[in-house]
Amino acid sequence: MKPIEQLMRTAPVIPVLVIDDVNDAVPMAEALVAGGLRVLEVTLRTPAALDAIRAMRGVEGAIVGAGTVTNQDQLQAAIDAGSQFIVSPGLTDTLGRAAVRAEIPFLPGIANAGDIMRGLDLGLTHFKFFPAEANGGIPALKALAGPFGDVKFCPTGGVKQDTAAHWLAIEQVLCVGGSWLVGKGERDWAEVEARAAEAAALAG
């Protein structure tokens, strides 16, 4: 099994995290892991993100990756910070090639058949379907998946606790991504753990 597939099969939900204060990184990761969500995507949308990745790598059981990686410089910075996987909202040949060369599990965003074909050309077979709801939702992904039987997906963007199960019921969907696990500025870690446990109980 490819490392990216193993990662996608670890938990049904990958929390998409936006971290403003690096001091939140460790308690946030601990709460999510305690709830059963081990694969954590820290988006490179805030100045604290790379330090948050470094800090979270110290949390037992956590598998920490970088999200919102859009170019080679960010890819390198994310790897240097200890990222164990890379998520991107889209796929360019330049970034795709660099991620393949770096031999790091890579989950690029795709939104149409051309995107998937560009990924297949690079040897990639596992993609984030983004933005999942805005891009047509479940009917769109089912139609898109049809011609690409060996390809696997992680729908992200607009997916919530009460819709995740519908996505996970699609055979080619291994997990979903979502930001609903931790609210902006939230520090109620018991609540985050409870939310993570609910998400972890979804059938993957």
Ligand X SMILES: O=C(O)C(=O)C[C@H](O)[C@H](O)COP(=O)(O)O
Would you say 203 and 168 are in contact if contact means Cβ atoms under 8 Å apart?
yes
Provide the minimum distance between the beta carbon of 157 and ligand X in the complex, in angstroms, as a whole number.
4
Q: Give the residue with the Cβ less far from ligand X, 29 or 176.
A: 176
Q: Which of 128, 133, 152, 193 is catalytic?
A: 128
Q: Give the residue with the Cβ less far from ligand X, 130 or 148.
A: 130
Residues contacting 172, CB < 8 A, separation 6+: 145, 149, 151, 152, 153
Q: Give the residue with the Cβ less far from ligand X, 36 or 157.
A: 157
Using CA atoms, how far apart are residues 86 and 200, in angstroms rounded to an integer? 21
Using CA atoms, how far apart are residues 46 and 64, in angstroms rounded to an integer? 16
Per the annotation, the verdict on 128 as an active-site residue is yes
Residues forming the site for ligand X (CB under 6 A): 16, 43, 67-68, 87, 89, 109, 130, 156-159, 177-179
Q: Give the residue with the Cβ less far from ligand X, 23 or 163.
A: 163
Provide the minimum distance between the beta carbon of 130 and ligand X in the complex, in angstroms, as a whole number.
5
- With vertex at residue 41, the alpha carbon angle to CA 39 and CA 44, rounded to the nearest 5 degrees, is 160
Provide the minimum distance between the beta carbon of 127 and ligand X in the complex, in angstroms, as a whole number.
12
Q: Give the residue with the Cβ less far from ligand X, 130 or 167.
A: 130
CA distances to 52, 102, 184 from 159, rounded to whole Å, are 24, 30, 17
Q: Which of 2, 5, 41, 160 is catalytic?
A: 41
Provide the minimum distance between the beta carbon of 149 and ligand X in the complex, in angstroms, as a whole number.
25
Question: Amino acid letter at 60?
Answer: E
Which ranges in the chain belong to alpha helices (H)?
3-8, 25-35, 49-56, 72-80, 93-102, 113-121, 137-145, 161-168, 189-200
The single residue listed with the structure tokens 């972890």 is 200
Provide the minimum distance between the beta carbon of 60 and ligand X in the complex, in angstroms, as a whole number.
26
Catalytic positions are 41, 128
